[in-house]
Amino acid sequence: MYKGGRIIASLVFVVALLSLPFFYNMGKGNKGPVINLNTSAILQLADKQCVEPTEWMRANHMKLLLQWREEAVRMGKTEYINSQGKSFKISLQTCLHCHYDPALNTSDQFCVSCHNYTAVKPNCWSCHTWPKEAGK
C-alpha cells in the first residue's frame, strides 16, 4: 500500500478522536431525566391528561408548540380546541401552569431536565419567562 504506515496511523488517530466522547463518559452514572408529574396543579386535576394524550404529546409536543406559535402570533388564534373538544389558552404559561414546580431549581423543571438529558436546546426561555423569574 502506498504510504500504508501513514494511512493506518491516521486512521487509528481519527478513530481514537471520534470515540473520545464515549471513553470520556464511560462509567458515569446514567440516571435519566427527572420527570416530575406531582406538581400541585397536576395533583388537583381530575383527569390527568395534558392538552393531548400523553403518548401523542411525548412524540409531538414540539410540533404542537410550533403550530401554537404560528396560530397565536400570526393568525391571532389563541385558543386551542383539542381532539376531545376541550379548550386551552395558547401560551407557554398554560404548559407551565401544570408543569412548573416552584419547589425545584430551573434545571430540574419538567421540560428542562428532559431536554438536558436528550441534549436538546430549545431557546424558548431566552424570551419567555419562568414564573419564578417574574418580579425579579
Residues of this chain that bind another protein (CB under 8 A): 52, 56, 60, 63-64, 67, 69, 71, 73-83, 87, 89-91, 93, 123, 126-131, 133-136
Nearer to another protein, 10 or 78 (CB): 78
CB of 32 to another protein, least distance (A): 27
Which of 38, 49, 60 lies closest to 108, judged by CA?
38
Q: Rounded to an integer, what distance in angstroms lies between the CA atom of residue 51 and that of residue 74?
A: 21
CB of 125 to another protein, least distance (A): 10
Nearer to another protein, 90 or 98 (CB): 90
Q: What angle do CA 129, 35, 40 make, to 5 degrees?
A: 65
Nearer to another protein, 116 or 129 (CB): 129
